[in-house]
Amino acid sequence: VASLKAMLYLGYRAIVAHPLKRLARRGTGLERFRAAYVDEGLAPVTPEDRAAALAAQECISCGLCETGCALAGADPMVRALGLHAAFRLYGRGPHELPLAAAALEACAGCAGCDALCPTGVPISRVVAQLRARAAAGVDASPADEAAPANPGIVSTA
């Protein structure tokens, strides 16, 4: 009986509900993609962003960069978090990037960290890239400058 009910429900989804939903939906494919996936961190990225993300993946969170980092003047919360936290924040959804804005702003851009990374992450370049992205906001992702702001995305900025 249970499997019959399940089959009926699946049939209803396939024959009635899904076609109706397809008829009702609006917007381009890209907009719908973004509405569905940006919150999960699957936003479209530029080739530069992608290159920076790949470089950042080499980070092993050893913290050696922090010894050359003059974050001492920054907010205590930012200092406690440290610079390499930026890499962990990097992989998250773009809607979380604004949360890292304070940490990213605290970077003086001295590039003292670059020579300290054992795995060769171009830290100052990654931080600069993240800053630009955080400053540009969530919706300024590539390839859809003409697209209207999507109400499905809640900006935390």
Q: Which residues, including other chains, have CB under 8 Å from residue 79's CB and lie 6 or more apart?
A: 71, 72
CA-based torsion, 12, 13, 15, 21: positive or negative: positive
Q: Counting contacts by CB under 8 A, is residue 82 touching other proteins?
A: yes
Q: How many CA atoms lie within 13 A of 149 on its CB side?
A: 8
Instruction: Pick the binder of other proteins from 30, 45, 51, 64 (CB under 8 A).
Output: 64
Stretch that binds other proteins, among 16-24, 45-53, 117-125, 131-139 (CB under 8 A): 117-125
In single-letter form, the type of residue at position 17 comes to A
b/e map of 39-51 (b: 16 or more CB within 10 Å)? Answer: beeebebeeebee
Q: Counting contacts by CB under 8 A, is residue 91 touching other proteins?
A: no
Q: Counting contacts by CB under 8 A, is residue 62 touching other proteins?
A: yes
Contact 147, 28 (CB under 8 A): yes
Closer to other proteins at the Cβ: 82 or 93? 82
Instruction: Pick the binder of other proteins from 117, 130, 134, 138 (CB under 8 A).
Output: 117
* φ, ψ for residue 121, nearest 5 deg: -70, 130
Q: Count of CB atoms within 10 A of residue 70's CB?
A: 12
Closer to other proteins at the Cβ: 41 or 63? 63
Closer to other proteins at the Cβ: 91 or 118? 118
Closer to other proteins at the Cβ: 63 or 91? 63
Q: How far is the CB of 62 from other proteins (least distance, A)?
A: 6
Q: Counting contacts by CB under 8 A, is residue 118 touching other proteins?
A: yes
Contacting positions for other proteins (CB under 8 A): 60, 62-64, 66-67, 72, 76, 79-80, 82, 115-120
